[in-house]
Amino acid sequence: MAAPGKKRRVSHASSSQTSSNSIENMLAGSQADGPGGEGGFVEGSIISITMKNFLTYDYSVVYPGPNLNMIVGANGTGKSSIVCAICLGLAGKTAILGRGDKVGLYVKRGCHKGFIEIKLYKTGGNLVINREIHVENNQSLWMLNGKHCNQKTVEEEVKALRIQVSNLCQFLPQEKVGEFAKMSKIELLEATEKSVGPPEMYEYHCELKNFRNRERELENVVKEKASFLEKAKLRNERNKHDVNRYYEKKRHLDVIELLEKKKPWVEYETTRKDLEDVKRERDEAKRQLSSLKQAQTPMLRKIQQIDNQLKPTEAQIKAKTAAIKEASLKCKQKQDQLDRKHKEIEDIKQTLRLKQMEEEDHQKRISNTRRTIEDLKAELAKVGDQPDVTPQINDVNVELRRIQVERAKLEGEKSDLRRERDNFSAESKMLEKKLNDMNNMMNAKEEKLRGRHRDTHAALQWLRQNRQLFGGNVHEPMMLVINVKDHRFAKYVENHISFHDLRAFVFQKKDDMERFMTEVRDKMNLKVNSISAPEESCSKKAPSRNIESLRRFGFFTYLREMFDAPDEVMSYLCQQYKVHDVPVGNEQTKAMIRTVIEEPYIKVLYTTDERYTLKRSFYSNKISTSNSAVHPSQYLTITVDAEEKRHLEQQMKECVSKLRDIDERMKALQKEIVALDRRDNELLAQKKRLSEQKGKKRQLEQKISTKQDSLRQMEQNAIDLQKIEEDTKVKITAVNSQKVTIVAAFMAQMKLRAKLTMEKVYLALETVALTAEKTKLENDCKEGASELRTTDQKCTRLEQRKVQLHEQCKGLLKRAKTICRMQSDESLPEDLRNAFSKLPDTLDEIDAMLNEERSRAECFTGLSENVVEEYNRREQEIKHLEKELEDKTNALNAYRQNISEAKERWLNPLKQLVEQINSKFSDFFRTMQCAGEVDLHSENEEEYDKYGIRIRVKFHSSTQLHELTPYHQSGGERSVSTMLYLMALQELNRCPFRVVDEINQGMDPVNERRVFDIVVRTACKETTSQYFFITPKLLQNLQYADEMTVLCVHNGPYMLPPNQWDEKAFIRRCLQRKARA
Give the DSSP H or E segment for 431: helix 390-452
Supply the DSSP symbol for 1036. Answer: T
Q: In the predicted model, what is the mean pLDDT of residues 522-549?
A: 89
CA distance to 539, 596, 625, 821, per residue, from 603 (Å): 19, 11, 9, 123
Give the three-class secondary structure for 149: strand
Q: Is the predicted pLDDT of residue 1045 greater than 70, yes or no?
A: yes
Single-letter amino acid, residue 912: Q
HEC string of 314-368? HHHHHHHHHHHHHHHHHHHHHHHHHHHHHHHHHHHHHHHHHHHHHHHHHHHHHHH
Closest CA to 69 of 842, 1067, 1060, 1048: 1048
Could you give the count of Cα atoms lying within 13 Å of 566 in the half-sphere of its Cβ? 16
In angstroms, rounded to a whole number, what is the distance separating the alpha carbons of residues 1001 and 174?
10
In angstroms, rounded to a whole number, what is the distance separating the alpha carbons of residues 985 and 995?
12
pLDDT of res. 20: 30
Supply the DSSP symbol for 1023. Answer: T
Q: In the predicted model, what is the mean pLDDT of residues 745-768?
A: 82
DSSP 19-61: --S-HHHHHHT--TT-TT--TTPPTT-EEEEEEEEETTEEEEE
What are residue 115's DSSP bridge partners?
A: 52, 132
Cβ-contact 524, 465 below 8 angstroms: no
Give the three-class secondary structure for 310: helix
Q: In the predicted model, what is the mean pLDDT of residues 874-901?
A: 78
pLDDT of res. 801: 81
pLDDT of res. 350: 85
Listed range (91-105, 574-588, 650-664, 751-765) with the worst mean pLDDT: 91-105
Supply the DSSP symbol for 129. Answer: E
In angstroms, rounded to a whole number, what is the distance separating the alpha carbons of residues 584 and 578?
13
pLDDT tens readout for residues 393-430:
778 788 888 888 888 888 888 888 888 888 888 888 88
pLDDT tens readout for residues 612-625:
988 876 655 677 78
pLDDT of res. 747: 85
Q: Which pairs from 915-923 meet CB under 8 Å and 24+ separation? A: 916/988, 917/192, 917/196, 917/949, 917/981, 917/984, 917/985, 917/988, 918/984, 920/983, 920/984, 920/987, 921/951, 921/980, 921/981, 921/984
Listed range (208-217, 376-385, 396-405, 466-475) with the worst mean pLDDT: 376-385
**What is the sign, positive or negative, of the torsion defined by CA atoms of 157, 158, 162, 164?**
negative
Q: Is the predicted pLDDT of residue 7 greater than 60, yes or no?
A: no
- β-strands 46-54, 962-963: how paired? unpaired
Q: In the predicted model, what is the mean pLDDT of residues 904-914?
A: 78
In angstroms, rounded to a whole number, what is the distance separating the alpha carbons of residues 137 and 104?
8
Burial class of residue 604 in the structure, from the number of CB atoms within 10 Å of its CB (0-12 exposed, 13-18 middle, 19+ buried): middle
pTM of the model: 0.41
Q: In the predicted model, what is the mean pLDDT of residues 203-226?
A: 76
Listed range (288-292, 382-386, 479-483, 801-805) with the worst mean pLDDT: 382-386
Q: Give me the phi and psi of 971, to 5 degrees please.
A: -60, -40
Single-letter amino acid, residue 48: S
pLDDT tens readout for residues 661-701:
888 888 888 888 888 888 888 888 877 777 766 666 667 77
pLDDT tens readout for residues 304-343:
777 777 778 778 888 888 888 888 888 888 888 888 888 8
CA distance to 264, 268, 849, 858, per residue, from 843 (Å): 9, 10, 10, 22
pLDDT top residue among 317 and 169? 317
- Looking at mean pLDDT, say which of 200-204, 800-804, 825-829 comes out highest: 800-804
Cβ-contact 524, 516 below 8 angstroms: no
Burial class of residue 329 in the structure, from the number of CB atoms within 10 Å of its CB (0-12 exposed, 13-18 middle, 19+ buried): exposed
pLDDT of res. 383: 65
In angstroms, rounded to a whole number, what is the distance separating the alpha carbons of residues 11 and 1058?
8
Q: Is the predicted pLDDT of residue 113 greater than 80, yes or no?
A: yes
Dmax over Cα atoms in the chain, in whole Å?
176
Burial class of residue 56 in the structure, from the number of CB atoms within 10 Å of its CB (0-12 exposed, 13-18 middle, 19+ buried): buried
Cβ-contact 73, 1032 below 8 angstroms: yes
pLDDT of res. 11: 41
In angstroms, rounded to a whole number, what is the distance separating the alpha carbons of residues 796 and 286?
10
Cβ neighbours for 1038, distance < 8 A, ≥ 6 positions apart: 20, 1009, 1012, 1013, 1016
pLDDT of res. 131: 92
pLDDT of res. 16: 30
Closest CA to 80 of 1002, 1032, 972: 1032
Give the three-class secondary structure for 531: strand
pLDDT tens readout for residues 446-459:
788 887 888 998 99
Q: In the predicted model, what is the mean pLDDT of residues 788-816?
A: 79
CA distance to 288, 302, 639, per residue, from 296 (Å): 13, 11, 121
HEC string of 684-717? HHHHHHHHHHHHHHHHHHHHHHHHHHHHHHHHHC
Q: Is the predicted pLDDT of residue 32 greater than 50, yes or no?
A: no
Q: What is the mean pLDDT of the chain?
A: 79
* Planar angle of CA 928, 532, 485, nearest 5 degrees: 160
Listed range (338-342, 460-464, 722-726) with the worst mean pLDDT: 722-726
Say how many Å lie between the first and final Cα of the chain, rounded. Answer: 34
In angstroms, rounded to a whole number, what is the distance separating the alpha carbons of residues 669 and 406?
11
Q: Give me the phi and psi of 563, to 5 degrees please.
A: -145, 165
Listed range (15-24, 239-248, 924-933) with the worst mean pLDDT: 15-24
pLDDT of res. 640: 64
pLDDT tens readout for residues 48-100:
999 998 888 888 888 898 888 888 887 777 888 888 899 889 888 887 776 66
